[in-house]
Amino acid sequence: MTDALKPLLSSPYVKTMGVRFDDHGDELTAILPYTGDLVGNPLIPALHGGAIGAFMEITASAALLAGTPLAALPKPIDVSVDYLRPARPQDVYARGIITRQGARVANVRVEAWQDRRGAPVAALHGHFLIKPESES
């Protein structure tokens, strides 16, 4: 699975954000390690909503890459993000579920949490353009 994630891990933006992955069997967890650069509002303090949204987009890409050999990184077509709780200045975790995968487009859902998986800080669902390897 780690090999499948190589194209994502070599993305400069993914490196800048410091995103890591932890896979156990068929469960892939994305980790956004806390740094001060992720803070959006220092007075709450809360992580930047945009950073959380971006992290969940990366998580969706990872779920797609882990599921099927792809010839290119998935491209977002549309995404919708619900912000459920302020994300505190600590690590964030996320997992993606592929709701439906067609030949070109996949629908993915992602949930992000901090202390408890049952208390998500944000959720994303969206469509991604994919290019399965067999087609290239």
Partner 1 sequence: MAGMADDLQSLLDSLAPLLVDGSPHAVAMGFQLESVTPGEAVMRAPYRDDLIGDPETRVLHGGVVTALLDHACGLAAFAGLGGKDATATLDLRLDYMRPAEPGRDVVAEARCIRASGLFAFVNAIAHDGDPSDPVATAAAAFMVSRVSQEAAKRARKAFSEGTSPISQVPNA
**Residues engaged in binding partner 1 (CB under 8 A):** 7, 10-17, 33-51, 53-55, 57-58, 72-73, 75-83, 86, 89
Task: Tell the smallest beta-carbon distance from residue 40 to partner 1 (Å).
Answer: 5
Is there a contact between 65 and 128 (Cβ–Cβ < 8 Å)?
Answer: no
Host H or E run for residue 63: helix 49-67
Cα dist from 42 to 37, 47, 88, whole Å: 10, 8, 10
Kindly state the tokens that stand for 52.
């959380």
Closer to partner 1 by CB, 89 or 98: give it: 89
Task: Tell the smallest beta-carbon distance from residue 24 to partner 1 (Å).
Answer: 25
Task: Tell the smallest beta-carbon distance from residue 97 to partner 1 (Å).
Answer: 19
Closer to partner 1 by CB, 28 or 38: give it: 38
Kindly state the tokens that stand for 29.
């967890």
Is there a contact between 99 and 35 (Cβ–Cβ < 8 Å)?
Answer: no
Closer to partner 1 by CB, 24 or 61: give it: 61
